[in-house]
Amino acid sequence: MSTRPQNVGIKAIEIYFPTQCVDQAELEKFDGVSTGKYTIGLGQTKMSFCDDREDIYSLSLTVSAPKLCSISQSP
């Protein structure tokens, strides 16, 4: 009879929010939509966005590298 695998599964999780953001009330005015469409309808006051220097690979590395170092495992 085999033993159950050990140390399997999600060990840690990270989340990253880009530092650049736009105020949703200002975006409502810029887009010409009704007041409250984003702020009340979506419940957002700000929205983060990536610039042209960030892609899926840099975002992934930003969150995974520190976590891999902190749990002492190689990729």
Q: What is the pLDDT of residues 5-61, one digit of tens each?
A: 887 888 778 888 888 999 999 999 999 999 999 999 999 999 999 888 888 898 888
Q: Is there a domain that residue 16 lies in? A: no
At 32 the pLDDT is: 96
Confidence (pLDDT) at 31: 95
Q: How far apart are CA 63 and CA 16, in angstroms?
A: 6
| DSSP characters over 52-74 | TT--HHHHHHHHHHHHHHHTT--
Query: What's the number of domains the chain is made of?
Result: 1
Which domain does 51 fall in, by range? 21-70
Q: How far apart are CA 19 and CA 64, in angstroms?
A: 17
Radius of gyration for the chain, computed over Cα atoms and rounded to the nearest angstrom: 20
Q: SS3 of 31, please?
A: helix
Residue 13 domain-assigned (yes or no): no
Residue 50 falls inside a structural domain: yes
C-alpha to C-alpha distance for 55 and 5, rounded to whole angstroms: 35
- How much is the pLDDT for 17? 87
